[in-house]
Structure 1
Amino acid sequence: MHRSRFLAGASVVAAASLLATACTTGSADSPSSGDGKSGGTVRIGMTSDVTSFDPAKGAGATDYVITSLLYQPLLGQDDGGTFVAGLAESWTSTPTKTTLTLRKGLTCSDGAPLTASQVVASLEHYRATSAGALLTFGAANAGKKTTITGDDKAGTVTITTATPWGEVLTGLAGTGAGIICKAGLDAGAAALAQGAVKGAASGPYEMVKARRGASYELRLRKDYDAFARFSAQPSGRPADTLRIQISKNESTLANQLQTRALDLAPFSGTDVARFTSDDTYAVRSAPLIRNFIAFNQRPGRPGADPKVRKAVAHAVSATAFNKVFGGAGQVMTSYVDEKSACVSTDTSLLTATDPAAAKKALRGVSIKLEGSNAVAGGAGNSYVAEALRAAGAEVKLANADNATWATDVTANQGDWDATVFPLITGNLARGGAYFVGPEPVKGGLNYGAVGNQGFAANYVAATSTTDPGAKCAAWQKAQDALLKAHDVIPLATVNVHYVARNGIAFATPGGNLVVSTLRVTG
């Protein structure tokens, strides 16, 4: 079965934990140079261990954090979807051809030059082994329908697709497409997955110590200057050393933050209430999970009836759903949040809460509702179930663990009627892949067998162009079709809250913390 990392299934616990970062510049354990120029040592605490060190195989937040530091992508993606330089300094892209020019003087962590042909080899590894590659090159361009070539003399990499696909740059900016140097590829996939391979890193750090399940130490590469150039990149120095420690839970991280053992920690749970923005801490929030209701629309299922889907929209309140999590999230107007490029913010497309109208269509209707219990024990799922029961539906709630939810909802002909879908990407193309194309039995991602032709046509139009205006225009039409048909009922985000002590700064382009932007400012 194919599962995408862009939904919060089996990896949502790791995603919710994310990371906690600490800077220490004066202790014996983490010495500073004392010259005011060093970044010192930064400690990073996480609540889950690494599952794979191969960027193409990343499946959880800890994987993404470490591999993003070891393996730099060709591009970064900034606020509003704008692309910024990474290992590539410039690029041109059409729906069938993308050419990137590498920065001059790129090297690997063993000092060997990083050439265009090595970049091609890394991208071929990504294409062959990563689930995310399906949405980087387009499903219609699988196998030999995508050609990747390199010119070492010119320092260029060219990607050509047989079928128009306008999302190549977005895919190349993802962590999974981080570039692995020749030493890593020569070592083989098994070695890459098990740990850092000497000379494999193209990113700003190389791993120098690893104790699985306990801690990892990464060291800044001397004179590294290929950091992605985000617009909000803070001033200051990158840490000389990153020490990544595995902690038990967010309460432990909060304790360490309050006792100054940590300087930065993200929280998705109630421990964030211990902190307020003041002279000691700053609290910043960003979407972690985008929640919406989706339906199994196969024949015989209640979700196949447009009247039932509309009635469910009448029964629930996105504002009430948000309050279940303390009201700290953002009420959504589409299946991605407002920080996403081209997202619809047209509230007229949304169906107002109307319990009386809901009862007319839902009284006596049996609904099997399934959701993940990874966040707050599945409190959001319970709210939706009670709202539907209040409207007269007979609801059987499966408040499942991550693995069960992922299996049940993504399985061919899964036995479910509606689900509170937890999406961890803010990208319209990636999130929209769950409502278009073939079902899992035919190798697709359309888990609910949605057959919205208006959405499908405009999804193709949006993903087949590289013109920003045309892309957004098509996305507006696509979301219009999806929302009017009630194929998706937007709810609210569950946010991650970054609590930082003075002296730590970082960027969150597009609402996502990019760890390589972390700087020590004091």
Structure 2
Amino acid sequence: MPRSRFLSGAVMAAATSLLASACTTGPAGGPSSGGARSGGTVKIGVTSDVTSFDPAKGAGATDYLVTSLLYQPLIGQDDGGTFVPGLADTWTSTPTKTTLTLKKGLTCSDGSALTAAQVVASLKRYRATSANALLTFGAANAGKKTGITGDDATGTVTITTAAPWGEVLAGLSGTGAGIICGAGLDAGAAALARGAVKGAATGPYEMATARRGASYELRLRKGFEAYPRFASMPAGKPADRLRIQISKNESTLANQLQTGALDLAPITGTDATRFKGDDTFTTKSAPIIRNYIGFNQRTGRPGTDPKVRKAIARAVSADAFNQVFGGTGQALTSYVDEKAACVSTDKSLLTKTDKAAAKQVLKGVSIKLEGSNAVAGGAGNSYVAEALRAAGAEVKLINADNATWATDVTANQGDWDATVYPLITGALARGGTFLLGPEPAKGGLNYGAVKNAEYAKNYVAATSTTDRNAKCAAWQKAQAALLKANDVIPLATVDVRYIARKGISFATPSGSLTLSTLRITG
């Protein structure tokens, strides 16, 4: 089964402790000696180790952090779903054929030329080994139903699909689709997973030293020019070296920021408040988790009744949910956040809070609410439980550890009625796979057995076209169908705060810290 894009496994650890990044080797108060003039060394603290250096097997934020620096995708994805050049300079895409033209002069980390043939071999491996390939090429195009060919003379790579699928470009922009040079492919999966493979890297950095469980040092590739062209690319120079060190927790990272040992750290918890009003730091916020209520709609469950779903929507408040986490997130208007391409922002589609009306339906209704305690000890789940109890429901709250929650909710015929889904993806197509199609027993990802024909029809329409206007029109109809039926009750995001000392700049395309954009500016 493809890996869930909810908060699970190593992804859970990454989202709760997150990566924390970038400190210089110099004294407190500014970048290391040389600073922007030399590029310098930037230290990066993380609170979880790398599980695999193989880009196709990444499962957590630290994995994505490192592999995104080593293995560059063909394209990048900017705010609002705009695609930007990466290793590919130009492209054309239809629902059944995508052709990309590589930039001139691309090289692998050993200085050898990166050819179209090597890109094809890397993508074929991705197609065969990565769980994310299902949504890159479409479930109907599994295996050799997706054709991948290349032409070294013209520097072009062509992807064809048997069934129409309009999400190929989005899939190719993901970290998992990062291109591996021939040396890495020849070395094999075990060698790639362990770390440095000479000549394998296509990204701006190559591995210099690796000490599992302790630290990793990456060295800037001289002459690398194939950076993604994000709209907000900062000025300055990339660091000559990145030193990634494993730290204990966010409190330690905040201490290191305040003492000058760190220059940049993403922080999700209350430690971020230490920097409020401190003009020696700047803060950027972005969603890391998108929370919404979903239902088990199998026969005999209260969630099968649309009146019950609507009453639950009336009993809760997205703004109140957000306050549970300090009010630093954003109230949602769909199951993804406002930075997503084609997201619905029509608040009239949302069921308004009406506690009196909720009581008329929910009084005496038994609801088994299960949620993950991975974020703030499950405080959001507790808020939902108390809101439903206030509306008269008899609520059994299970604040489970993340592994138990993931097993219970994703299992066929799982024993639960409602859950707060912690979605980590910000893409409509990827997040929407959990709301249609077959149930787990039949090999699908529809964990709640949702049956919304209007949504399913428009999901297919949206993912079967590459025309932006047609795609967004279909997505608007799809989201409206879910919201009107209260199959999804949007709550709010839990945000990460990227706290940076002056002199360090970076971009957050699509709300995600992208370390290939990190620059030392002064």
**TM-score, normalization: structure 2?**
0.97
After TM superposition, list the pairs within 5 Å mapping 1:463-482 onto structure 2. Answer: 463-482=463-482
| Residue-by-residue CA offset, 1:359-398 (whole Å, 9 max, x unaligned) | 2221221111111111111100000011111111111111
Amino acid paired to 2:453:
Q
Structure 2 vs 1, CA of residues 235 and 25 (structure 1 numbering), >3 Å: closer, same or farther? farther
Identity %: 79
Question: What residue in structure 2 maps to residue 7 of structure 1?
Answer: 6
Q: CA deviation at 1:228?
A: 0.5
Show CA shifts across 1:11-44 (max 9, x none): 22212333222342546xx996739532100000
Give the stretch that moved more between structures: 83-92 or 365-374. Answer: 365-374
Contact 2:31 2:503 in 1 (8 A): no
CA deviations on 1:417-446 (whole Å, 9 max, x unpaired) are 111000111110001111011111121111
The CA deviation string for residues 74-98 of structure 1, in whole angstroms up to 9 with x for no partner, is 0000111110000000000000000
Contact 1:32–1:38, Cα closer than 8 Å, also in 2 = no
- Give 1:138's aligned amino acid: G
Letter in 1 for 2:272: V
Write the letter of the residue equivalent to 1:393: A
Shift of 1:113: 1.0
Q: For 1:53-202, list aligned pairs within 5 A.
A: 53-202=53-202
Post-superposition Cα deviations, 1:59-85, rounded to whole Å, max 9, x if no partner, equal 100000000000000000011111000
SS across alignment from 2:312: helix
SS in 2 for 1:516: strand
Count matched residues.
520
The alignment partner of 2:507 has SS state of coil
The range that moved more, 277-286 or 133-142, is 277-286
Amino acid in the other structure paired with 2:80: G
Aligned to 1:217: 217
State the 1:277 CA deviation: 4.7
AA matched with 1:265: A
1:441 alignment counterpart: 441
Give the match's secondary structure for 2:21.
strand
Contact 2:36/2:237 (<8 A) preserved: no
More displaced stretch, 385-394 vs 97-106: 385-394
Aligned residue number for residue 395 of structure 1: 395
Q: 2:307 matched to which residue of 1?
A: 307
Superposed CA offset, 1:270-303 (max 9, x none): 0001002543011111111000000111111111
C-alpha root-mean-square deviation of aligned residues, in Å? 1.5
| 1:312 alignment partner, SS class | helix
Query: Matches of 2:497 and 2:34 in 1, distance apart?
Result: 31
Write out aligned runs for 1:289-368 (5 A).
289-368=289-368
CA contact (8 A) 2:266 2:497 kept: yes
Q: Distance in 1 between matches of 2:480 and 2:69?
A: 38
The letter of the residue matching 2:7 is: A
Counterpart CA distance in 2 for 1:372 and 1:37 is 47
Which residue in the other structure is 1:419 paired with?
419
C-alpha contact 1:369 1:416 (8 A) present in aligned 2: yes
Structure 1 range deviating more: 187-196 or 225-234? 187-196
Pair 1:500 & 2:496 matched: no
Secondary structure of 2:140 counterpart: helix
Q: Specify every segment of 5 or more residues in structure 2 that has no aligned partner in the other structure, as ranges.
A: none
Cα distance in 2, alignment partners of residues 376 and 32 from structure 1: 35
- Aligned partner of 2:452 in structure 1 is 452
Counterpart CA distance in 1 for 2:23 and 2:379 is 35
Structure 1 contact 32–39 (Cα < 8 Å) conserved: no
Corresponding letter in the other structure for 1:44: I
AA of the residue aligned to 1:496: V
Measure the CA separation in 1 of the matches of 2:284 and 2:440.
Answer: 38
- Name the CA distance, whole Å, in 2 between partners of 1:16 and 1:106: 37
Taking structure 1 as the reference length, what is the TM-score of the superposition? 0.97
Q: Does the Cα contact within 8 Å between 2:329 and 2:495 map onto a contact in 1?
A: yes
Instruction: Determine if the alignment matches structure 1 residue 517 to structure 2 residue 517.
Output: yes
**In structure 1, distance between residues paired with 2:35 and 2:248:** 35
Quick one: which amino acid aligns to residue 461 of structure 2? A
TM superposition shift of 1:195: 1.5
The separation in 1 between residues aligned to 2:381 and 2:483, in whole angstroms, is 21
Unaligned runs of 5+ in 1: none
Distance 2:304 2:420 in 1: 17
Structure 2 residue identity aligned to 1:59: A
Confirm or deny: 8 A CA contact 1:20 1:262 kept in the other structure. no
Partner Cα distance (1:400, 1:515) in 2: 33
Following the alignment from structure 2 to structure 1, what is the Cα–Cα distance between the partners of residues 126 and 476? 31
Question: Is it true that 1:370 corresponds to 2:366 in the alignment?
Answer: no
**Are the counterparts in 2 of residues 3 and 410 from structure 1 also a CA contact under 8 Å?**
no
Following TM superposition, by how much is the alpha carbon of 1:128 offset from its aligned partner in structure 2, in angstroms? Answer: 1.1
Measure the CA separation in 1 of the matches of 2:219 and 2:393: 57
Distance 1:424 1:397 in 2: 23
Q: Separation in 1 of the partners of 2:368 and 2:79?
A: 38
Q: Using the alignment, how far apart are the partners of 1:128 and 1:284 within structure 2?
A: 37
- Report which stretch shifted further, 266-275 or 185-194: 185-194
